[in-house]
Amino acid sequence: MNNRKEEWAISRRDFIKYCSATSVAVGITGFPALVRSQKQPGEILIGMAHPLTGAGAMGGQEYYRAAMMMVGIINEEGGIKSLGSAKVRVIFKDTETKLDVSAAATERFCQDPQISLVTGCMVSSFTLVTSQIAEKYKVPYINEGALSERINQRGLKYTFTTRPTSPNYARSFIAFIEDLEKKIDNPPKTVAFLNEDSEAGQTIGNNLKSEVLKSPLKLRVVEDILYSMNAMDLTSVIMKLKASKPDIVAGFHYLGDSLLLQRQMKQLKFDCMGRLTVSGWEPLPSYAKTLGKDANYLLNTSTAYPNMRGIAGLGNVNQRYEQIYGTPPSNITFLMFLAWGVIRKALESVRSTDRDEIREALAKVEIAPGEFGNYGVAPIKFDSNGKNIGTRPVVGQIQNEKIICVWPEEYSISKLVWPTPKWSERAS
């Protein structure tokens, strides 16, 4: 992940504010630390390992805030009733966006018999390791953030991926382009895949290409590029795009490299009909705040956006989140909402905090759109490998410096702007 100026670190003051309305264990200093779990009667302890510092801080903080809000709601509404109204308490560890810290925290959580379930740890390459640790100890493990489909292709019995994985996004990309081919006069005919080179980027790129090649789309692949997510200059990448002249550019990026791409695309006057980012960080308010009007017209596909139509409970959860944190939820926030919807539903069906009983309950979870935690457009259900097979990402577009749902039409609040205006045609 990139460690550029756009990264910000959570402050002690803000952390304490977040904790005041929730139920999280903190260290003596008041900042997240791996705390010895001192389970009280009538409590369910859940270990949570995510970055609040380091290169992944911004995403980790989004996950943390969402989790604390959901725990607060669960406890306010009487806790887990099947377990005698037991309250949920989170034991949190800041992983610092480091593999060794993530692995160590996961192992310590798993070794503590009082902890019933573990969640983590956002980064695909890290989660490949931490999920294996949870499997070793037979501890239910929730992957709410990592994209790689390899996580659930290794025969693990205790890992459940609640978010859409890369094939879900690739199929939604195909459905979106198919819809464009039916409804507009100038759909894209050529595509370039542009991805950063981590586990997540490579997985997304492979799935996008595979789905396009086997689809009936009239879409020809003209370029397939991987670049270093730590690159400080992407001129050579953009010049390749200019030479291949794709109608649409699609792929996965982290925040810093996506900002750099957009800036240099403008500087080098690279124009295309549309640029679509898969999952990613572009819907975060900081993206448009940093770029201003230059962020407009960017497309993104994600689980959910706060301004979708027709989703039960979405307005209430948006309002509560904004009241607590002073900002609307983001696409990353909704991934954690989804995870906690799954956790709550599983816990409500067990009679003890036995790890194997919780694992069996997780495998049977189904959550309809609009139920607690699921503010997307499709039901949640797991296959035999623990992968969520029910999710269906939607497409948003940044308009007037805010991400707006534009597809499918029944959930959109604004029309898609297509094609993207050329840089020379945009107001400065």
Q: What is the pLDDT of residue 248?
A: 98
Q: What is the pLDDT of residue 27?
A: 31
CA angle 237, 239, 245 (to 5 degrees): 105
Percent of the chain with pLDDT over 90: 80
Q: What is the pLDDT of residue 4?
A: 30
Q: How far apart are CA 179 and CA 263, in angstroms?
A: 30
Answer whether 325's CB lies under 8 Å from 356's CB: no
Answer whether 284's CB lies under 8 Å from 58's CB: yes
Which are the contacts of 76, defined by CB distance < 8 A and separation ≥ 6?
none
Task: Give the confidence band of 340 by pLDDT, cuts at 50, 70, 90.
Answer: very high
| Average pLDDT for 283-312 | 94
Per-chain mean pLDDT for the chain: 90
User: What are the φ/ψ torsions at residue 244 (nearest 5 degrees)?
Assistant: -85, -20
| Average pLDDT for 216-228 | 95
Q: What is the pLDDT of residue 38?
A: 62
| Tokens linked to 175 | 């459905």
Which are the contacts of 17, defined by CB distance < 8 A and separation ≥ 6?
none
Q: How far apart are CA 354 and CA 225, in angstroms?
A: 47
81-120 per-position pLDDT tens digit: 999 999 999 999 999 999 999 999 999 999 999 999 999 9
Q: What is the pLDDT of residue 56?
A: 86
Distance, CA of 157 to chain centre: 22
How many helices, marked H, and strands, marked E, lie in the chain?
A: 12, 15
Q: What is the pLDDT of residue 388?
A: 93
Q: How far apart are CA 233 and CA 74, in angstroms?
A: 46
Q: What is the pLDDT of residue 8?
A: 30
Q: What is the pLDDT of residue 41?
A: 61
Q: How far apart are CA 189 and CA 234, in angstroms?
A: 25
Task: Give the confidence band of 427 by pLDDT, cuts at 50, 70, 90.
Answer: confident
DSSP 96-137: TT-HHHHHHHHHHHHH-TTEEEEEE-S-HHHHHHHHHHHHHH
User: Which H or E run contains 67?
Assistant: helix 57-76
pLDDT for residue 20 is more than 80:
no
What domains does the chain contain, in order, with CATH numbers? 12-165+311-381 (3.40.50.2300), 167-309+393-425 (3.40.50.2300)
Q: How far apart are CA 395 and CA 300, in angstroms?
A: 6
What sign does the dihedral 311-315-316-320 (CA atoms) show? positive
Distance, CA of 242 to chain centre: 30
User: Which H or E run contains 167?
Assistant: helix 166-183
187-215 per-position pLDDT tens digit: 999 999 999 999 999 999 999 999 999 99
Q: How far apart are CA 150 and CA 62, in angstroms?
A: 24
Q: What is the pLDDT of residue 79?
A: 96
In 3D space, the residue among 260, 165, 249 whose CA is nearest the CA of residue 207 turns out to be 165
Q: How far apart are CA 75 and CA 82, in angstroms?
A: 13
The 3-state DSSP class for residue 189 equals coil
Amino acid at 203: T
Answer whether 398's CB lies under 8 Å from 404's CB: yes
Task: Give the confidence band of 12 by pLDDT, cuts at 50, 70, 90.
Answer: very low
Q: How far apart are CA 421 and CA 428, in angstroms?
A: 13
Q: What is the pTM of this model?
A: 0.88
